[in-house]
Structure 1
Amino acid sequence: MTFLSSIAVGLLAFHAAAWKHSDASELKQQLLQNDCTLVASLLSEWQTIRGDATLMSVDCSASRDLCAELDVVSFPAIRLYQRDRPMIRYRGPRKASSITSFLKRIQHPIITRLTNETLDSFASTDSVVFVAHLHDDDASLLARFSSIAAAYRDRYTFAVAQGMGILTGPSTLQCHNNVDGEEHFQTGLDPVGALEAFVGTCTEPLIPELNRRTELKYRQTGKSLVHYFSDAEADREAYGKAMKPLARAYREYLQFVTVDSSEYPEMPRTLGVAAGRGLAVENPHTGQAFPYRRSRGDSSALTAAEVGEFIASISRGNVEPWNGGSSSGTVQDVAAAHDEL
């Protein structure tokens, strides 16, 4: 495998030990010689990518004709070129761990045939794993499942358990979302769009990132939003991991989201959050916001216990909605009752 990328010239020396930077002629030679050629942009952590791959890069600012020939029009562009097979675009997070998983995933069959011995262990082989438990004569559902697997093979792992003599009920689609620690099952897979809907349900993050692309979607759920603002990705990820049990417990009523405050610098202020980092509960239908106040100077990580108590306080009517005033200070309990969640 090979890596092609757009890259700032200043990064080349830093990555020299991990990446081989190539010109147009060398890259084309590699495309002909290698079975797989992965095309991407370099970021600092990508030097840790592991797998059966030869890592190369091309500076699209210096090799404009080559990148135009490969139809690279925006950066970063991450692609897997396979000799005698179609090119596959990488659509996941620009992180070493995610790209490493992609490299591993794409080398497997589109659908893995499971046996009694491999059925249990296969569920943990990827972040999201779909297993179709089918009767021997269910050729139609197998064909539809195969089509879905081909469309999403770059992002998820697919397998079939068929002809094993252990299925007693109807054919069932099972999903293991190992990121959020959840399992989903569905029967009644004949309606048009049922498989696609199941993929969407299973892969929906428990605590997603609210951004320009997803904002409308999460504001139309009919639930109040529990925003966590931070401009640090690692901070948002740590918060998400800590809040998963709470988000799972309240999922019927609340949608937990994280927000990059550098992308939405105005949003924290409109919800009463100071300094672009913090938490606020918002009811999109009423426009009311409940920013969480901590003691001055407390910069420790939020815990699920304190966020859970804050949400309970709002439900009990002990927290006033923000009135647009100062966003400093601590929450004061009030006697007036509210039922804003």
Structure 2
Amino acid sequence: MAAAARLLRAVSLLLSCLSAAVSSRRDALELRDTDFDYLAAEHETMLVKFYAPWCGHCKKLAPEFEKAATRLKGSVQLAKVDCTAHSETCARFGVSGYPTLKIFRYGKDSGPYDGPRTAEGIYQYMRKQTGPDSVHLKTRDDLRSFINNYEASIIGVFSGAHSPGLAEFLKAAGLLREQFRFAHITDLQLAEEHGCSSECVLLFRPPRLANMFEDGVEVFRDHLTISSLRRFIRDHIYGLCPHMTLENRDRLQVRDLLTAFYDLDYHHNVRGSNYWRNRVMKAASKHTGRGLMFSVANKKDFLSELESDFGVGTSDGGDLPLVTIRTKLGYKYTMREEFTRDGKSLERFLEDYFAGRLKRYVKSEPVPEQNTAAVKVVVAETFDDIVNNPDKDVLIQFYSPSCPHCKKLEPAYRELAHTLYTDQNIVIAKMNAVDNDVPLGYDVQGYPTIYLAPVGRKDEPMRYEGGRELQDFLRFLKREAGHGLVDGGAKDEL
């Protein structure tokens, strides 16, 4: 009897797990040509992923999309369309690449989804797509509840429902709702305790980021327009030291940015997360106005970036924060000294940074001991010496060792180098763009990417967009190189 009972419990547990798995899979609808229109029309807001099963980016997105579908169940419907099986629907909505994500409202295409591709990012982005552009807060309890949120809150305070300022505020909320949370008040008394006794806009930073170095609320009293409100939010939303996430990093990294990476977790350990942030903020408060922004981030979220961009390993730093600076020009620095609890090591790092004494971190392969082949090998540390040589025209190919297109190009590119081997005025070169930092001015988004750095115009490299045969390259160089070409005899690779 006992064995039978155990078997029954095991079967019950298995069925429960299978039921949960099936339920999770069904949280994202699978739509087809035959049912897309009538099923999509049933939902006020729907996020649709158009994909192809063979697409690598689609495979990477799939588990994040499913997690988001489960979290959004009941508020926003997520759905997917396999474009290899249901091409009619995909063609109708102009899908030309995978994955393509679009937002639909009652079956009508409302526009592209431009948000993050993580489960958390999709969740946060799509939550903002539901409900009104701005929530009407009618009581103090409504106000306290709204601002007690993980994200920042922008609240317009107006004297009545017919205020011209309110109409402009609602327009701005409609345009910016995907990025920020908006609410409004039509009773001035509700906002008096926050220093707002006349019409204004209040920006509340998240309570989890409260600190002694800055106020938790900013007040906007200028003439309200969509542009002026947008500027106010942009200038004040982050404060002295924002929490950088995978979702907001692109907006933060357009500035010179110092980031302290550590075991940050605002969901489960607010006090511990703010322990190190307060030390960063102390330094930030001393250097306001010097053009450097400060931030903190979860080290685990950015491990791949730290490893690839800064050469930092998973064990580096231990439990102490790792500190980096990335400038808007792409220069990178790392704090080599351990982060001390008194913050003095961070101060010394900042003093050296502002004094220009820090050595930039450059990811580079070792400099080749011999570089006598027809195609010269360039690494990050030799880029200036070879490519920016003021006396030579340099054609450089940025490649990936695993790229099949690069391997296909290799014979023609080597033949070009052989053909021009005796021309002392031109260099045919290549650089592994995966294991070396690509300098500014060279936009490498795919492989191979080829540029000409001509004599007299090294700061304006010219992207090569022509054919991939020998004569195509020769015609281009004859037309664009600063020196005339000298076709020489080929030399064997050494």
Q: Same fold (TM over 0.5)?
A: yes
Tell me if 1:198 matches 2:221: no
1:177 aligns with 205
Partner of 2:293: 255
TM-score normalised by L of structure 1: 0.65
| Unmatched runs of 5 consecutive residues or more in structure 2 | 1-20, 50-60, 211-215, 363-494
Find the counterpart in structure 1 of residue 132 from structure 2. Answer: 109
Aligned to 2:336: 292
Measured after TM superposition, the shift of residue 148 of structure 1 is 0.8
Q: In the alignment, is the contact (CA less than 8 A) between 1:208 and 1:256 conserved in 2? A: no
- 1:131, 1:175 within 8 Å by CA — same for their partners in 2? yes
Which segment drifts farther, 149-158 or 205-214?
Answer: 205-214
Structure 1's 94 and 247: CA in aligned 2 closer, same or farther, altered over 3 A?
Answer: farther
Structure 1 counterpart of 2:197, one-letter code: G
In structure 2, relative to structure 1, the CA distance for the partners of 1:34 and 1:276 (3 Å cut) is same
Greater Rg, structure 1 or structure 2? 2
Give the deviation of 1:241 after TM superposition.
4.4
Aligned letter for 1:175?
L
Deviations 1:41-84 (A, max 9, x none): 63343354233145432123443442232233444444331128
Residue 312 of structure 1, aligned match among 339, 347, 353:
347
Other-structure match for 2:395? none
Q: 1:36 to 1:283 in 2, by over 3 A?
A: closer
Aligned residues: 291
1:21-100 map, 5 Å = 21-40=30-49, 42-44=62-64, 45-46=67-68, 48-52=70-74, 53-83=76-106, 87-100=110-123
C-alpha distance 92-25 of structure 1, shift in aligned 2 (>3 A): same
- The 8 Å contact of residues 268 and 276 in structure 1, kept in 2 or not, is answered as no
**Aligned partners of 2:143, 2:132: CA distance in 1, in Å?**
16
Q: Residue 178 of structure 2 corresponds to which residue in structure 1?
A: 154
1:131 match? 155
- Aligned residue identity for 2:242: L
Distance in 2 (CA, whole Å) between partners of 1:14 and 1:116 is: 39
CA change 1:60–1:37 in 2 (3 A) is same
- 1:194–1:248 Cα change, 3 Å: farther
Q: Describe the shift of the 1:71–1:283 C-alpha distance in structure 2 as closer, same or farther (beyond 3 A).
A: closer
Distance 1:207-1:246 versus aligned 2 partners, 3 A rule: farther
Identity fraction in percent: 16
Deviation at 1:135, TM superposition (A): 2.6
Give the CA deviation at 1:129.
1.9
Cα gap change, 1:34 to 1:193, in 2 (>3 Å)? closer
Which region of structure 1 is more displaced relative to structure 2, 14-23 or 101-110? Answer: 14-23
In structure 2, the partner of 1:189 is 223
Tell me which protein shows more helix as a share of its residues. Answer: 2
Taking structure 2 as the reference length, what is the TM-score of the superposition?
A: 0.47
**Structural RMSD (CA):** 4.5
Q: 1:29 to 1:149 in 2, by over 3 A?
A: same
Contact 2:155 2:184 in 1 (8 A): yes
Q: CA deviation at 1:102?
A: 4.2
Distance 1:275 1:97 in 2: 23
Contact 1:206 1:244 in 2 (8 A): no
Q: Is the 8 A contact 2:153 2:204 kept in 1?
A: yes
SS in 2 for 1:106: coil
- The AA in structure 2 aligned to 1:189 is H
Question: Distance between the aligned counterparts of 1:228 and 1:121, measured in 2?
Answer: 31
Q: Which residue of 2 aligns with 1:335?
A: none
Instruction: In structure 2, give the amino acid aligned to 1:177.
Output: R
1:215–1:267 distance in 2 versus 1, CA, 3 Å: farther
Change (3 A) 1:310 1:203: same
203-212 vs 97-106, which deviates more? 203-212
SS for the counterpart of 1:188 is coil
Instruction: Give the 3 Å change call, closer, same or farther, for CA 306–145 of structure 1 in structure 2.
Output: same
- Supply the distance in 1 between the matched residues of 2:314 and 2:46 (Cα, whole angstroms): 44
Q: Is the contact between residue 136 and residue 184 of structure 2 (CA under 8 Å) also seen in structure 1?
A: yes
Q: Deviations over 1:13-63 (max 9, x none)?
A: 996354342322222221233333222363343354233145432123443
CA distance 1:59–1:116, shift in 2 (3 Å): same
Q: 1:308 Cα deviation (Å)?
A: 2.8
Task: Could you tell me which runs of 5 or more consecutive residues in structure 1 were left unpaired when the two chains were aligned.
Answer: 1-11, 295-303, 326-341
